[in-house]
Structure 1
């Protein structure tokens, strides 16, 4: 066996193992349940905006969209809807939703616009869009990290082989011809 094969094999094996480890680490989000929960929250916010634009009262709209929400958010939606239906002040009524990720800004906006659901609908639309945009940015970042990880084996395996099989013979051939001319 040639020296290139003997040294290239361990280097290639190490590069492949390192790339596999990097790809495996960056392939999946840290918590896939978190991604699913955020997508469900975005769809709940979209449905809430549609219900409010259709003219539903806020407590009825919250009750209508609650079954599509993640479990903890569903409980908070029901609690807020019940408090609003009983006539509670807006700040304490929206407190259960204020503790939920992605819904805090909605609760603040709802407290400010206690009478109208129209302003709340635009806030819900905006929050849903921002949640989805954030997930898209995270996916792009993971894809970019995977691309960088894939470049490692190319650089460590194919580049030395290119020099050993492509450039080195040409340089040695030219050196032999130049040496014969001198």
Structure 2
């Protein structure tokens, strides 16, 4: 019983060691880290963000959309240790990487989101599924013609796949999105 209680305390505590790690891996100073932590604990008193709460947060930002599918992919990307929840460290590192890092880092986070199979490439099915999830998230209902997710995924892969293997590697993804701001806005709007 004592072990469970200390585990619970550790998950909500922000130690000097955690602060040092987060300062070393983000551009946040100690005050910003403490502010983020206070907000995180206010929203997640257990110190862990579960999938349900994660979807609720996205729903606030996209009130007319359906965030469930998109959140499934994003949650799995942010849950670095695959324990079914996001702790403060995972949360802040994901926020920092997707919003603070240099362009390559931010595009790398976007690539990780799309690489659902974790095989180091994005294929047409993965890309199509993420486009559908993104459409659902933002409430996009027009999915005909150029907006058809399968067609759009095929066109994007044809554009970015320099090796001709019908898959996009991390390097192809980053180089392609750096060269094409319109595509970057579509696939990695925060980058």
Larger proportion of helix: 1
Same fold (TM over 0.5): no
Structure 2-normalised TM-score? 0.24
Name the larger-Rg structure: 1
Highest RCO, 1 vs 2 (Cα 8 Å, sep ≥ 6): 1
In terms of fraction of residues, the more strand-rich structure is: 2
